[in-house]
């Protein structure tokens, strides 16, 4: 059996996120996000909020996709439709779902980058730093304070690394995860910014 880490499925999935002509496809993108959820399980209670948030947004987008898979084959088609119908800013819109899903993934990429670049940091430090660089500015007071409390429950770093390593080279996989996923997330932000919807805040 090949050596595997907790990132192996999502790294495999990332190879299929774009169509031949370079468009991000809905189902493969959502599948990659789903494959990252088991990584969050390894954080335990600290990531419970993030996990349910991500799960909810994936479900919202998947539900819309399943109503017409050929119409919504491309990830941004849902957003374009909502922009035309002037429903994109609604709190239950797919646009909102994609935006928060992307932001949550930004947080994770930043977190794993911190774990690579700052071997001396505790898990709480790595989490808090990546939170302040990504989600914090979009969160209201309530979300922000519950997040801060949750981060205090972050697991012991060495134990966590051991759990996610499996039988593979975890540092190489984290590096791959950050460098491969980041450009896809950036593309989401660039698209959302092009329709004026990248800076929506939480209520």
199 within a domain of the structure (yes/no): no
Q: How confident is the model at residue 203 (pLDDT cuts 50, 70, 90)?
A: low
Nearest-angstrom CA–CA distance, 174 and 5: 9
Tell whether 200 is covered by a domain: no
In the prediction, which pLDDT does 123 show? 93
- What's this model's pTM, rounded to 2 decimal places? 0.94
CB half-sphere exposure, 25, CA atoms < 13 A: 17
The answer to whether residue 160 sits within a structural domain is: yes
CATH number of the domain where residue 165 is located: 1.10.3520.10
Is 163 part of any domain? yes
HSE of 54, CA atoms in CB hemisphere, 13 A: 26
- Is residue 203 in a domain? no
Residue 75 lies in a domain: yes
The distance from CA 71 to its chain's CA centroid, rounded to whole angstroms, is 24
Q: Identify the pLDDT of residue 146.
A: 84
For helices 26-41 and 48-67, give the axis angle rounded to 10 degrees: 160
The residue segments making up the domain with residue 44 are 7-194
Which of residues 139 and 57 earns the better pLDDT score?
57
Establish if 177 belongs to a structural domain. yes
Phi, psi of 24 (to 5 degrees): -75, 125
- Residue 202 clears pLDDT 90, i.e. is over it: no
The domain tally of the chain equals 1
Distance CA 172, CA 91 (A): 38
Each residue's pLDDT tens digit, 105-153: 999 999 999 999 999 999 999 999 999 999 989 988 878 888 888 888 8
In this prediction, residues 177-200 reach a mean pLDDT of: 96
Q: How many residues does the chain have?
A: 203
In a domain, 158, yes or no: yes
Q: Which residue has the tokens 């774009």?
A: 18
């Amino acid at each position: 059996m090949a050596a595997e880490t907790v990132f192996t499925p999502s790294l495999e999935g990332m190879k299929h996120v774009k169509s031949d002509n370079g468009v991000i496809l809905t189902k493969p993108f959502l599948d990659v996000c789903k494959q990252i959820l088991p990584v969050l399980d390894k954080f335990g209670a600290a990531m419970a909020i993030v996990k349910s948030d991500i799960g909810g947004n994936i479900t919202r987008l998947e539900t819309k996709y399943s109503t017409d898979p050929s119409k919504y084959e491309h990830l941004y088609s849902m957003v374009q439709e909502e922009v035309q119908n002037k429903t994109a800013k609604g709190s239950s819109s797919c646009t909102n779902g994609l935006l928060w899903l992307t932001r949550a993934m930004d947080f994770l990429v930043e977190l794993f980058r911190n774990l690579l670049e700052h071997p001396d940091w505790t898990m709480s430090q790595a989490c808090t730093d990546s939170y302040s660089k990504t989600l914090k500015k979009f969160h209201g007071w309530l979300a922000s304070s519950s997040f801060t409390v949750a981060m205090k429950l972050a697991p012991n770093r060495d134990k966590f690394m051991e759990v996610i390593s499996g039988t593979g080279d975890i540092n190489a996989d984290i590096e791959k995860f950050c460098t491969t996923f980041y450009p896809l997330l950036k593309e989401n932000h660039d698209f959302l910014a092009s329709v004026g919807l990248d800076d929506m805040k939480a209520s």
